[in-house]
Amino acid sequence: MTDMLRHPHFTCQRCASDNVLEVDVSEGFPQNFVWDCLRCCNPHDITVRQDGDELYVQAELV
């Protein structure tokens, strides 16, 4: 049984904090959602793409 949850990171574009996402790979890719930085609460427009076994996160301030 493969764990369907992955936890890619991204760096906040405002305060440079490391944020850990939770992604359900069974939902397919690409995935797009809004994530608030856990430290400064600035929302980011997140896009997660999969390439083979790797996940790539693109984060832009909303």
Give the binding site for Zn ion (CB under 5 A): 12, 14-15, 17, 37, 39-40
Closer residue to Zn ion in complex, CB, 4/40: 40
Least Å distance between CB 7 and Zn ion? 18
Q: What is d(CA 3, CA 10) in angstroms, rounded to the nearest whole number? A: 21
Least Å distance between CB 34 and Zn ion? 14
CB 31 within 8 A of CB 45: no
Least Å distance between CB 30 and Zn ion? 23
**What is the phi/psi pair of residue 27, to 5°?**
-85, -5
